Amino acid sequence: MIDAAGPQLKAMILLGVNAGMGCTDCAMLPMKALNLKTGWLDFPREKTGIDRRVPLWPETIAAIRQAIAARPQPQDERHKGLAFVTVRGKCYGQAKQTHWLVSAATAKLLTKLGLRRPGVGFYSLRHTLETIGSGARDQAALDHIMGHAPNRNDMAARYREEIEDSRLRAVTEHVRTWLFPAVAKVAQRE
């Protein structure tokens, strides 16, 4: 999927698996939430409003840079600050069901690749981050990246003031080495 996607969808796919972003998150992502120099995303999850801070992979940063460079001029002044707009310069989030535009682009790509089947779509990327990321054995850091709202009985989550950047990196790097095995081989040699 990553190799076959156009610049905007490629960046969104990587944000889905790297940062657990859903369709609406990508549709409404402001460029100011991305610090591509330091490699961090600071953006509350659209669905829950929960703050999240996510270290971005070099692959994700490169894809976002490429998407922004190829980004069409937004048709509406209100959308100039968004990281992604459609090929016609419209906001992915214009419709009430913002997920439809990103989902439709993903479905089209999956069909083209012969991978489309029920239950597999853009949101599967969040599922992948949750599933593979749990292997890093730091559920609190993974929940923060995912923007999960804590259970109201979860006292540790209520009292936790922050999660160290090193813990967030450990989770995302665990997923990165799973997705890009060559990265793991290079790390082993060093």
**Residue 23 one-letter amino acid:** C
Alpha helices by DSSP H, 76-161:
99-113, 124-133, 139-146, 155-159
Q: 161 or 64: whose pLDDT is higher?
A: 64
Output the pLDDT for position 50. Answer: 85
CATH 1.10.443.10 fits 7-189, yes or no: yes
Question: In whole numbers, what is the pLDDT of the chain averaged over residues?
Answer: 89
Per-residue confidence at 140, pLDDT binned at 50, 70, 90? Answer: very high
pTM (global) more than 0.75: yes
Q: How big is the chain by its Cα radius of gyration, in Å?
A: 16
Per-residue confidence at 92, pLDDT binned at 50, 70, 90? Answer: confident
List the domain boundaries for the chain: 7-189
Please give the average per-residue pLDDT across 27-35, as a whole number.
Answer: 95
Write the pLDDT tens digit of every residue in 94-119: 655 555 789 899 999 999 999 999 99
Provide, rounded to the nearest whole percent, the portion of the chain with pLDDT above 90: 71
One DSSP character per residue, 50-82 reads ---EEEPPHHHHHHHHHHHHTPPPPSSGGGTTB
Nearest-angstrom CA–CA distance, 32 and 54: 14
pLDDT above 70: residue 14: yes
